[in-house]
């Protein structure tokens, strides 16, 4: 969808928020907290950004973009060149970080990770749920949407590590009541620390993480395997040097990808047969029957049959 940038607001020295609309301000596809959109810039960079506005505002999408020191181009372009009135191409929202049913919610964000968490907090407040939100930042001027966080009342707090010391995640998770689900978004060190603490959660509680970068793990060297796209009637040989996604696309099978790093979920394909080595950062169950072919492969060179 071509959307017009209506408003760019500096949230912190490193973060700007961008509000976009249809040219005639007509309604956009609906979304729920946790959803993200893919933004395509004239530089041909495509990036995923969590929606952080109000789902009830059907005419606008709002995202926030942090200037990355090692930007691959997208965040640099947005900070340096994107202006109000420009057109950006946006794919409709997708949600891989949905809020589920829980007795209570603990929402945790660090840095730019506040974007999906803020939308969740606003929603939980509106339905009178039992929730708490903590937004961690190194310095006070590094807190994006500080006014909006403040407007959520005393359930929403900001933890500034330069003033209060590092947020003690272990102690924090040790205090939650059974049945509380944790939703968290932030840089790798933050989400990795929470992932490691998941076994310490009380009964009936779960942890849901949204990552910006892949989980650091090591895998055995790539092996060749074959994959059959059952609906397309195509079988491809996947050599060790190519991803399954590249091989499928090269054979004309309609599978799209975006991040190509196993974090966005856009390339998901259902698996009909064969064992998968899940190398993505989304799958939590080793037996999951969905593969993210941008990074995941067949286990031990087994043949895969895919529903595509
Ligand atoms: S393209 Fe993003 S998970 Fe595969």
pLDDT tens per residue across span 113-149: 999 999 999 999 999 999 999 999 999 999 999 999 9
Position 76 scores a pLDDT of 85
Q: Which atom of ligand 1 is nearest to the CA of 293?
A: 4
Ligand 1 midpoint to CA 15 (Å): 25
Q: Which atom of ligand 1 is nearest to the CA of 48?
A: 2
Ligand 1 midpoint to CA 125 (Å): 32
Q: Decide if pLDDT at 23 tops 70.
A: yes
Instruction: Find out whether the beta carbon of 291 lies less than 6 Å from any atom of ligand 1.
Output: no
Ligand 1 midpoint to CA 265 (Å): 5
Helix (H, G, I), strand (E, B) or coil at 82: coil
Ligand 1 midpoint to CA 244 (Å): 11
DSSP β-bridge partners for residue 70: none
Q: Which atom of ligand 1 is nearest to the CA of 294?
A: 4
Closest to 25 in 3D by CA, of 57, 59, 51: 59
Torsion of Cα atoms, 282 then 285 then 287 then 288, to 10°: -40
Separation of alpha carbons 75 and 63, rounded Å: 12
- The 10s digit of each residue's pLDDT in 66-105 is 987 665 567 888 998 999 999 999 999 989 899 999 999 9
Torsion of Cα atoms, 285 then 291 then 292 then 296, to 10°: 80
Q: Which of 210, 214, 259, 283 to mutate to test the pocket of ligand 1 (most atoms within 8 A of CB)?
A: 259
CATH of region 104-211: 3.40.50.80
285: left (phi over 0), alpha (psi -120 to 50) or beta: beta
Domain 225-306, CATH homologous superfamily name and number: Beta-grasp domain (3.10.20.30)
Would you say 236 and 229 are in contact if contact means Cβ atoms under 8 Å apart? yes
Q: Hey, where are the domains in the chain?
A: 2-95, 104-211, 225-306
Separation of alpha carbons 244 and 228, rounded Å: 11
Torsion of Cα atoms, 159 then 161 then 166 then 172, to 10°: 0
Q: Which atom of ligand 1 is nearest to the CA of 262?
A: 3
Domain 2-95, CATH homologous superfamily name and number: Translation factors (2.40.30.10)
Would you say 174 and 43 are in contact if contact means Cβ atoms under 8 Å apart? no
Per-residue exposure over 53-90, b if at least 16 CB sit within 10 Å of its own CB, e if not: bbbeeeebbbbbbbbeeebeebbbbbbeebeeebebeb
Q: Which atom of ligand 1 is nearest to the CA of 263?
A: 3
- The 10s digit of each residue's pLDDT in 162-219 is 999 999 999 999 999 999 999 999 998 999 899 899 999 998 999 999 887 777 788 8
Separation of alpha carbons 180 and 134, rounded Å: 15
Separation of alpha carbons 8 and 84, rounded Å: 6
Instruction: Find out whether the beta carbon of 269 lies less than 6 Å from any atom of ligand 1.
Output: no
Position 69 scores a pLDDT of 67
Instruction: Find out whether the beta carbon of 292 lies less than 6 Å from any atom of ligand 1.
Output: yes
Instruction: Find out whether the beta carbon of 279 lies less than 6 Å from any atom of ligand 1.
Output: no
């Amino acid at each position: 969808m071509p959307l017009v940038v209506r408003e760019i607001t500096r949230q912190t020295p490193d973060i700007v928020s961008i509000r976009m609309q249809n040219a005639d301000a007509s309604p956009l596809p609906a979304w729920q907290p946790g959803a993200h959109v893919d933004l395509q810039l004239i530089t041909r960079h495509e990036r995923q950004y969590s929606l952080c506005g109000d789902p009830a505002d059907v005419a606008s999408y709002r995202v926030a973009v942090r200037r990355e020191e090692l930007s691959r181009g997208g965040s640099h372009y947005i900070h340096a060149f994107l202006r109000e009135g420009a057109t950006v191409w946006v794919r409709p929202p997708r949600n891989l970080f949905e809020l589920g049913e829980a007795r209570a919610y603990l929402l945790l964000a660090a840095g730019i990770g506040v974007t999906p968490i803020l939308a969740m907090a606003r929603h939980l407040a509106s339905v009178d749920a039992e929730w708490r939100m903590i937004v961690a930042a190194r310095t006070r001027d590094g807190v994006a949407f500080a006014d909006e966080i403040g407007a959520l009342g005393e359930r929403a707090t900001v933890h500034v590590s330069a003033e209060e010391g590092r947020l003690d995640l272990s102690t924090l998770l040790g205090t939650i009541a059974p049945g509380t689900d944790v939703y968290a978004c932030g840089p790798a060190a933050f989400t990795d620390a929470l992932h490691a603490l998941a076994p310490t959660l009380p009964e009936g509680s779960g942890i849901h993480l949204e990552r910006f970068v892949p989980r650091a793990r090591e895998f055995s060297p790539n092996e060749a395997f074959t994959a059959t796209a059952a609906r397309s009637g195509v079988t491809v040989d996947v050599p060790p040097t190519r991803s399954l996604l590249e091989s499928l696309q090269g054979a004309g099978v309609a599978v799209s990808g975006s991040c190509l790093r196993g974090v966005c979920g856009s390339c998901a394909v259902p698996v009909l047969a064969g064992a998968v080595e899940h190398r993505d950062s989304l799958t939590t169950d080793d037996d999951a029957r969905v593969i993210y072919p941008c990074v995941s492969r067949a286990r031990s060179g087994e043949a895969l049959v895919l529903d595509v």
